[in-house]
Amino acid sequence: MSVQLSDSLLAEEVIQAASRYLLHLQHAEGYWMAWLETNVTMEAEYVFLLHCMGRCNRDREQKLVRHILAGQTEEGAWTLFPGGPGDLNCTVEAYLALKMLGMQEQHEPLAKARNFIQNHGGVECTRVFTRMWLALLGLYPWKSIPVVPVEMMFLPRWAPLNIYDFASWARSTMVPLSIVMSRRPVFPLENGLSIDELFVREQPSPPLRGEDGWERFFRGIDELLHLYQRFPFHIGRKSAEQKAIDWILRHQERDGNWAGIQPAWFYSLLALKVVGMEKSEAFRKGWEALETFGVETDDGRWWFHACISPTWDTGLSVLALTSAGLPSNHPSLLNTGNWLLQQQIFVHGDWKIRRPKAQGGGWAFEFMNDCYPDLDDTAVILMALSKLRLPDEERRKKSLTAGFQWMTAMQSKNGGWAAFDADNITSLPCRIPFCDFGAVTDPPSEDVTAHVLECYGMFGYDEAWHVVRRGVDYLKRTQQTDGSWFGRWGVNYIYGTGAVLPALASVGVNMKEPWVQRALDWLTGHQNEDGGWGESCLSYADPAWIGRGESTPSQTAWALIGLVAGGRANTPAATRAVAYLRNTQRSDGGWDETLYTGTGFPQDFFIGYRLYAHVFPLIALGRYKQALEKR
């Protein structure tokens, strides 16, 4: 038996077990959806929201306590990702939530957390969002928090800092927040509960950051806005508030959610409450829908999803199973195909602002998020549907055409594709004092662009088409000097590089060209001794961690996908990667992955996609086996 055939048979054993396991995870309706884990601020802010709404859930309180405590580290902190350093914002919010849930401050978990907080600058050094929640609860002065004026709703779309200059996730958060911050409500805690012990200085002052001229300018504007806030009257504010309320109501989804994400949802509910709309149908639907994001575990914990990912999980699962050799007309895939067709979005969302001539046809990450279909999901779903054969082939082809046209229309001027918008690249929103958190704009990224190009290649397009050629040129420009690519939505350079290489191969780029070979060499040079690949979330802040970290199934799969695409399936690096995946596979066919390999906002918000450890190894192994059998 040849070495190639032996390796192929070994991969087949792993593939069959993994396929059975993934099929077992499918929901009856045809979709896949696994847990999406983030950090403790989700549960803490749920506790805060309950208080602001004057509601309580006694049965849930101890389950929340158990979940919050489960994430505390030995030093007393809470982290943004497993194994990461203690995070001040997470720790302050967890500390307060535990006190509100009845824990006494002398209790050991709070004593350890308090020590960490005091040693890291105290409450005064937390982000704007954390201090804003404290202000809502009467624990921090509103005057010390940067202003988001509701009057920004009057800015025309051509004006700098209009709401459409912000990314979709920032926009859907800041519009309701502008109402809340203009009203400055306070919902005092019972029995004088406070966190005075967490302040290091007597008078709270906002943390300063390195400033350039623009940031000094906007800080001066913020001081003027605070002064204006103290005026007894505010010209046009009532009209501005009504414009913001109308915007919120227009952007509520059919099931009651806003933007499919926790921040936009929570703040929209708060905005409706402070303007007296707590008894409205919009509020009722929004509040009831919150329950769909909660998870109760078998060990008695309760936690809150930041988001859910059925469309994304389903598209990746189809790609995994078809790569593994599951027939395109398999009953499970027929069910999935029909479900995916039903999820396509033809109504106009915020993307229409910058692409007014385009027609709908994309897919969103969640069950219902018609306002914000995204390019990553759309590319993956189009690839998935291209692998299927459905009873209604005419409908499938029309769906593919509409998705293809929308995706093409969303190309940005620099040749790349962003997640939700086109040409959302202005830097001014990042300079205002309020925006001290995460990414607030949505410029094109290497990984989304790669998925779009890989999709085009599956439909037979190459660099002869100007759209593809501009996309490839964008990837050439954004390649790092070491040969890798940055990962915006996955950790990190392994994700970016593992996405770009199959995209280049798909659209017919010569994989022997030096710039492509540098990327392949970079991957090979970062393989761990155990045969896997890993990269810490720390790589976004510390270059020493780029391409380095404990091996994980998903990151190993991304690297293997890249090697196979680059013609290196029959190499020791690929063989060792397959051995790693085989050796770490569970007896039920799945893999364990406790580390986070998903990215929400680089440095600020990370995601543990529970399904990544199962779908990406299956995609990689399927492509590996196919490559060996072609030789």
Question: What is the set of active-site residues?
Answer: 376
Question: Are the C-beta atoms of 152 and 162 separated by less than 8 Å?
Answer: yes
What's the start-to-end Cα distance of the chain, in Å? 15
Alpha helix locations (H) across 291-392? 310-323, 331-343, 375-386
Say if residues 302 and 296 touch (Cβ distance below 8 Å): yes
Angstrom distances, CA of residue 51 to CA of 45, 55, 69, 100 = 10, 6, 20, 9
Alpha-carbon distance 450 to 505, whole Å? Answer: 11
**Which amino acid appears at position 503 of this protein?**
A
User: From CA 487, how far away is CA 479, in angstroms rounded?
Assistant: 11
Provide the residue type at 558 as one letter: W
* Strand order across the 605-609 sheet: 36-37, 605-609, 598-601
Cβ neighbour number for residue 478 with a 10 Å cutoff = 18
∠ CA 291-297-301, nearest 5°, is: 85
The CA distance from 97 to 76, in Å, is 15
Closest residue by Cα to residue 566 from 621, 622, 499: 499
Distance between CA atoms of 368 and 167, rounded to whole angstroms?
19
Distance CA 108, CA 30 (A): 47
Q: How far apart are CA 339 and CA 475, in angstroms?
A: 33
325: left (phi over 0), alpha (psi -120 to 50) or beta: left
The structure tokens listed for 62 are: 């101890």
How many whole angstroms separate alpha carbon 615 and alpha carbon 317? 6
